[in-house]
A and B are shown apart, each in its own frame.
Chain A
Amino acid sequence: MNTLPNPESRAQPVIQIQKMNKWFGQFHVLKEIDLEVVTGERIVICGPSGSGKSTLIRCINRLEEHQEGQIVVDGVELTNDLKHIEHVRREVGMVFQHFNLFPHLTVLENCTLAPIWVRKQPKAEAEATAMKYLERVKIPEQAEKYPGQLSGGQQQRVAIARSLCMQPRIMLFDEPTSALDPEMIKEVLDVMIELADTGMTMLVVTHEMGFARTVANRVIFMDDGQIIEQNKPEEFFNNPQSDRTKLFLSQILQH
Chain B
Amino acid sequence: MTERAATTSILNNSEFRRILYQLLIAALLIYLGWSIVENTIANMEARDIRTGFGFLNETAGFSIMMSLVPYEPGNTYGRVFIVGLLNTLLVAGVGVVLATIVGFLVGVMRLSQNWVVSHLANIYVEIFRNVPLLLQILFWYTAVLKPLPGPRQVFERNTEIYFGISNRGITGPEFILLENFSFTTWTILLGILFTIGMHRWSKHRQAATGQQFPVVFVGLGLIIGLPILIFLLSGAPIEFTPAKMGRFNLSGGITIIPEFLAVLLALALYTAAFIAEIVRAGIQAINYGQTEASRALGLRNGTTLKMVIIPQAMRIIIPPLTSQYLNLTKNSALAAAIAYPDLVATFAGTALNQNGQALETLAITMTVYLSLSLLTSAFMNWFNSRVKLVER
| Chain A contacts to B: CB under 8 angstroms | 61-63, 86, 89-90, 92-94, 96, 98, 100-104, 113-114, 116-126, 146, 148-149, 162-163, 166
Contact = CB atoms under 8 A, between A and B. Distances in A.
Contacts of B289: 96, 98, 100
A208 B287 CA distance: 27
B308 A102 contact: yes
Contact of B297 (A114, A121, A148): A114
Interface in B273-303: 287, 289-290, 292-293, 295-300, 303
Given A146-B390, A146-B391, A148-B390, A94 B210 contact: no
A90 B315 CA distance: 30
Interface of B: 206-212, 287, 289-290, 292-293, 295-300, 303, 307-308, 311-312, 315, 389-392
A124 B209 CA distance: 9
Nearest to A97: B289
Of B209, B295, B296, B389, most A-chain CB atoms within 10 Å: B296
Contacts of B293: 94, 96, 100-102
A162 B297 contact: yes
Contacts of B303: 117-118
Contacts of A103: 312, 389, 391
Contacts, number: 91
Contacts of A162: 297
A145 to B, nearest CB: 8
Contacts of B209: 122
A176 to B, nearest CB: 13
23 contacts: A61-B296, A63-B295, A86-B298, A92-B296, A94-B296, A98-B289, A101-B293, A102-B290, A102-B312, A103-B312, A104-B311, A113-B308, A114-B299, A116-B210, A119-B210, A120-B212, A122-B207, A122-B208, A122-B210, A124-B207, A124-B208, A149-B391, A149-B392
A89 B308 contact: no
Contacts of B296: 61, 63, 89, 92-94, 96, 163
Given A116-B210, A125-B210, A146-B389, 15 more contacts: A61-B296, A86-B298, A90-B298, A96-B293, A98-B289, A100-B290, A104-B389, A114-B297, A120-B212, A122-B206, A123-B206, A124-B208, A146-B391, A148-B392, A149-B391
A124 B303 CA distance: 20
B293 to A, nearest CB: 4
Contact of B300 (A86, A101, A102, A126): A86
Contacts of B300: 86, 117-118
